[in-house]
Every structure is written in structure tokens, then in C-alpha cells.
Amino acid sequence: MAKLPIVTVGDPVLEQRAEEVPKITKKVAKLIDDMLETMYEANGVGLAAPQVGVSQRIIVLDPGDGPVIIVNPVLNEASGEEIDVEGCLSIPERWVYVKRATEVEVTGLNEKGKPLRVQAEGLFARALQHEIDHLDGVLMLDRMLGEAEVVQVADEEMAEAEEVEAAEEGE
Ligand code: ZN
């Protein structure tokens, strides 16, 4: 496996419609492995092939309980809607509000070329929609409702811990 460089906003590969994958060749299998490594190294929830400069319809995700690989993904069903904050490995240091469906069903092929059906909700559903958008040349900036300011979680926890300490001292 190898970590691949992540393409950032402004590169035309992020604005194109990616090609269907006709067959899972050895080259495709290696690309999938490399995409997983790249996603994990970058602490991302998902990664689409155009983000590593390859205009093919492949996405990898990990919603928190292991890798999910979908080749030629199709969004079949989407219901509900929710506005929440999103980030993108190709758009560093920016978080924006995007409206997404809360529940989706996606079909496609797994890394062995076998049919796959994924039902997802919440963050996983959001990530699937974000990654499939990449395959159509759509970025979160095209859908953004506004810029979000995100305080680092670590800082928040630190502030809370300090408040607790201060409160205890006051007793
Ligand atoms: Zn993205």
C-alpha cells in the first residue's frame, strides 16, 4: 500500500464526471488499497478516487466500524433532510453547512466486483452523499449554505475541564 497525494480544490479532476469502472483489475484493487491508506493517514471519513487524481467511480469510507468500499456507487433512495457541518480533504481548513438526506440507500460493487447494497443514516449517509458528489464533479462548496466555524474538540474539552476545576476550587 502507498499513501497518495490528495488533490485540492482548483484541480480540474475534481470538477469532472468520473468514469465507470468496467472491471476490477489488479490496478483498480491496488488503487483501492492506496485510497484506504490515504484516507486513514489523513483521518478522513471518506475519500473518492478523483481526490487522488483518478477520474474513476470509486469511493472508500469508514463511518467508524471498518472500511466500506463501493465501486460505481448509485444513490438509489434518499429521505429526510438535515443541515450540518462538513469538511473535505480536498478543501483543507474549511467547514461549511450543507443540507443532506438523513437516510440513503446506495448500490454498487464491492472490491471483488460483487453487487453491494448499503443502507446508511446520519454521518455515514452524509459521507456517502459527499463522496458520490465527488464522482459527479460536485464539491461541498457547490452546495454550501454558509461557512461554519468549528472549534477544535480538544480545546472544548480542555475548556470544560478547566471550568470543572474552577468550580471545584470555589467550593
Ligand atoms: Zn470531499
Per-block average pLDDT, block size 10, for the chain (171 residues)? 94 98 97 98 97 98 96 97 97 95 98 97 97 98 92 59 60 50
User: Catalytic residue at 169?
Assistant: no
- Give a yes or no: residue 64 inside a domain: yes
* pLDDT value at residue 1: 78
* pLDDT value at residue 168: 63
- Give a yes or no: residue 17 inside a domain: yes
Report CA(92)–ligand 1 centroid distance (Å).
10
* pLDDT value at residue 157: 58
Report CA(47)–ligand 1 centroid distance (Å).
7
* pLDDT value at residue 153: 58
Q: Domain containing 81 — which CATH number?
A: 3.90.45.10
* pLDDT value at residue 150: 77
Q: How many domains does the chain have?
A: 1
From CA 134, how far away is CA 15, in angstroms rounded? 8
- Give a yes or no: residue 143 inside a domain: yes
- Give a yes or no: residue 134 inside a domain: yes
Report CA(124)–ligand 1 centroid distance (Å).
13
* pLDDT value at residue 162: 60
- Give a yes or no: residue 102 inside a domain: yes
Task: Exactly one of 15, 131, 149, 165 is catalytic; name it.
Answer: 131
- Give a yes or no: residue 7 inside a domain: no
Report CA(45)–ligand 1 centroid distance (Å).
9
- Give a yes or no: residue 69 inside a domain: yes
- Give a yes or no: residue 138 inside a domain: yes
Domain that holds residue 17: 12-170
